[in-house]
Amino acid sequence: MTRVIAYTYEADVHCPDCANHRAAVGLLTRQPPLQTGTDENGLAFDLVDGDGNPIHPVFDIDEFPYTHCGDCGAEL
């Protein structure tokens, strides 16, 4: 089974914990049309960053050049 290991937004990669924190404090917001439900990390499917760009999940099977979170430095 594939799983989400990170998210891309604001020109960087972020671990699920940092993405959840940013959503909780309002730095990631929802944009209409609102969708119901959340992903496996509890993030709404319709979140956007401060520039209004949608956040994108990174899956464990994706070819991905990044190895650490751009916020906290945690290994992805």
Contact 1, 10 (CB under 8 A): no
The pLDDT tens digits for 43-75 are: 999 999 999 999 999 999 998 888 999 999 999
> Could you tell me the pTM of the whole model?
0.91
Q: Would you state the pLDDT for residue 11?
A: 92
For a pLDDT cut of 90, what percent of the chain falls above it? 87
Alpha carbon distance 46, 53 (integer Å): 10
Q: Would you say 17 and 75 are in contact if contact means Cβ atoms under 8 Å apart?
A: no
The per-residue pLDDT for 20 is: 97
